[in-house]
Chains A and B, each alone.
Chain A
Amino acid sequence: MSTTNYNINKIRADFPILSREVYEKPLIYFDNAATTQKPRQVIDRVHRVYSLENSNIHRGVHYLSNQLTEAHEKARETIQKFINASHSHEIIFTGGTTDSINLVTFTFGEKFVKEGDEIIISEMEHHANIVPWQMLCERKKAKLRIIPMNEKGELLIEEYKKLLSDKTRLISVNQVSNTLGTINDIRQIIKIAHQRDIPVLIDGAQSIQHTKVDVQELDCDFFAFSGHKIYGPTGIGVLYGKEKWLNEMPPFRTGGEMIQNVSFEKTTFNELPFKFEAGTPNYTGAVGLEEAIKYISDIGLEHIEAHEKELLRYANQKFEKIEGFKTYGTASDKISVISFLLEGIHHYDIGMVLDKMGIAIRTGHHCTEPAIKHFNIDGTARASFALYNTKEEIDKMYDALLKVQEMFG
């Protein structure tokens, strides 16, 4: 795939943090699956809100409040267009993916899940897409069913089909695994579920920054993602939900902003999306996220995807040359995440030494203990690439890994 016209130097210059050093070494940031760095455009936007625009929104009669309310709602529309939702009120602002999933468990879950019902998730889910369902199942005496995966880290669709029954109330799976990099065939998962009218939630925390998401085309019922993983601010996230579900779901958190009328006898709730957005919204996060979306849209997600695929290809062929290098997660369709171990060396030791060479990776179970246990290991070292990473950085990591082997060999 061609990555010409992709102005990597210009892109890197947009990210102030990429020019800093750690331990007097140039920073190589390969922990993008944990969080991405922020371009100047996003930082400036957040700075501008606090410097010139700050005011509480949706309730002011004054100039600043009106202006920022408009900016906040415009951010919602930008996100709507970005994921091609039918309505802007299907975009609920949350604190992040975890918050979005919790919202569904406490609203959809409370209303529609009864004793004996079943929720289906997969073996490769992040703890954020396991524990909220586990807690819901405990509250409701419902059962959690798990779609298994094969040794490559691919979900077994035939097994998934067998799990579906009249008891199934919802399916919640990630589009992309943060640990294995697998891109799941969610189109098929959704299609199969819909044959039985079962709704599907997609955890998009690891997909939205790498590939084009069209919620209408996917026909998912819910889609959750975080701002900070798509070059936006922390503390802002999105839950997309089909209007028909959101209307039927009871409110989650309650308080100001989400009400229509309050008296001591009875409170009536506001319409969508405000019904689910109690309290002062994170408007700074929302407009910062909008700026991040504009930023990647300007580059073009298809160009980003091509660049990252090339980085993955390059890193794979480079790292495979290292004796004892083993990749965990070898699905045929993957995003730019490499989970690995070097034979006989603990992942924490790999991470500690790379850190001192200025290379930021993540080590451990990556909040996916069941996925890690599948491979009978305690954890992996994980390098995850983003739009600003380069082959030269991968070369440096390759050298660093050889150094690690020399030290611990």
Chain B
Amino acid sequence: MATLDEKQNEIIEEFELFDDWMDKYNYLIELSKDLPEMDPKNKNDKNLIEGCQSKVWLHAEMKDGKLVFEADSDAIITKGIIALLVDVLSGRTPQEIVDADLYFIDKIGLKENLSPTRSNGLVAMMNKIKAYALAYSSKQ
């Protein structure tokens, strides 16, 4: 498995192919379709992060010392960004996630989507991911 940073660099390279926003968004729409569907029993109110703009569901599970994430959103572009985040972060050790510097979001021009002023659920989702990772890393 590629390291977290290798994965980030891969994504950055892919996004370099696009020179306009519509291409980027079209790519995110494609990614949203590839995001594995959440287990319906995990897509519950407990896992719902209600943003003002879009809803996000996040389920985290510890498997063989690694945190595995399942996530979804009702908005497609948000879901595409989730697909990227899950791709980078799922299946990592809690410590890797705690230490992660997610520079790719900025590099591919999607930083605004992870700004606290955008009430799309993504910031809350990232905070939750970090909180899970912290909780598990301190247990180890």
Residues of A within 8 A of B (CB): 23, 345-349, 351-353, 356, 363-365, 378-379, 403, 407-408
- CB <8 Å contact, A379 and B25: no
Of the residues B25, B26, B29, B75, contact of A348 by C-beta under 8 Å: B75
Q: Does B77 touch A at the CB level, under 8 Å?
A: yes
- CB <8 Å contact, B26 and A364: no
Q: Does B55 touch A at the CB level, under 8 Å?
A: yes
- CB <8 Å contact, A379 and B53: yes
**Residues of chain B with a CB closer than 8 A to A345's CB:** 76
Of the residues A347, A379, A407, contact of B22 by C-beta under 8 Å: A407
**Residues of chain B with a CB closer than 8 A to A363's CB:** 53
Of the residues A346, A356, A365, A378, contact of B25 by C-beta under 8 Å: A356
CB distance from B105 to the nearest CB of A (A): 15
Interface residues of chain A: helix, strand, loop or mixed (majority): helix
Q: Does B37 touch A at the CB level, under 8 Å?
A: no
Interface string of B20-51 (1 = CB under 8 A from A): 01100110010000000000000000000000
**Residues of chain B with a CB closer than 8 A to A379's CB:** 53
- CB <8 Å contact, B22 and A346: no
When C-beta atoms are compared, the residue in chain B nearest to A363 turns out to be B53
**Residues of chain B with a CB closer than 8 A to A378's CB:** 55, 74
- CB <8 Å contact, A348 and B22: no
Q: Does B90 touch A at the CB level, under 8 Å?
A: no
Of the residues A23, A346, A365, A407, contact of B75 by C-beta under 8 Å: A346
A364 to B54, CA, bound (A): 8
Query: Which 10 residue pairs spanning A and B have beta carbons closest together?
Result: A356-B21, A346-B75, A348-B75, A348-B53, A348-B54, A352-B77, A349-B76, A349-B75, A364-B53, A364-B52
Size of chain B's interface in residues, with CB distance under 8 A? 16
A363 to B22, CA, bound (A): 19
Q: Does B120 touch A at the CB level, under 8 Å?
A: yes
**Residues of chain B with a CB closer than 8 A to A352's CB:** 25, 75, 77
- CB <8 Å contact, B21 and A349: no
A123 to B71, CA, bound (A): 34
Q: Pull 8 A–B residue pairs with CB atoms less than 8 Å apart, ordered by A.
A: A345-B76, A348-B54, A364-B53, A364-B119, A378-B55, A379-B53, A407-B26, A408-B76
CB distance from B90 to the nearest CB of A (A): 24
**Residues of chain A with a CB closer than 8 A to B26's CB:** 407
**Residues of chain B with a CB closer than 8 A to A356's CB:** 21-22, 25
A349 to B120, CA, bound (A): 11
Q: Does B78 touch A at the CB level, under 8 Å?
A: yes
CB distance from B84 to the nearest CB of A (A): 15
Of A345, A347, A348, A353, which is in contact with the most chain B CB atoms at under 10 Å from its CB? A348
**Residues of chain A with a CB closer than 8 A to B76's CB:** 345-346, 349, 408
Of B26, B75, B76, B119, which is in contact with the most chain A CB atoms at under 10 Å from its CB? B75
Contacts A378-B55, A407-B26; is A348 near B78 (CB within 8 Å)? Answer: yes
A349 to B75, CA, bound (A): 6
CB distance from B58 to the nearest CB of A (A): 17
**Residues of chain A with a CB closer than 8 A to B54's CB:** 346, 348
Chain B positions 124-140 with a Cβ under 8 Å from a chain A Cβ: none
- CB <8 Å contact, A353 and B25: yes
Known: A356-B21, A408-B29. 11 other contacts (CB 8 A): A23-B21, A345-B76, A346-B75, A348-B120, A349-B76, A349-B77, A351-B53, A352-B77, A364-B53, A407-B22, A407-B25
**Residues of chain A with a CB closer than 8 A to B25's CB:** 352-353, 356, 407
**Residues of chain B with a CB closer than 8 A to A351's CB:** 53
CB distance from B49 to the nearest CB of A (A): 14
A353 to B29, CA, bound (A): 12
A313 to B60, CA, bound (A): 50
- CB <8 Å contact, B22 and A365: no
A404 to B21, CA, bound (A): 13
**Residues of chain B with a CB closer than 8 A to A365's CB:** 52
A20 to B115, CA, bound (A): 24
Of the residues A23, A364, A407, contact of B29 by C-beta under 8 Å: A407
**Residues of chain B with a CB closer than 8 A to A408's CB:** 29, 76
A203 to B18, CA, bound (A): 47
A8 to B21, CA, bound (A): 31
When C-beta atoms are compared, the residue in chain B nearest to A350 turns out to be B75
**Residues of chain B with a CB closer than 8 A to A407's CB:** 22, 25-26, 29
A378 to B55, CA, bound (A): 9
A352 to B112, CA, bound (A): 11
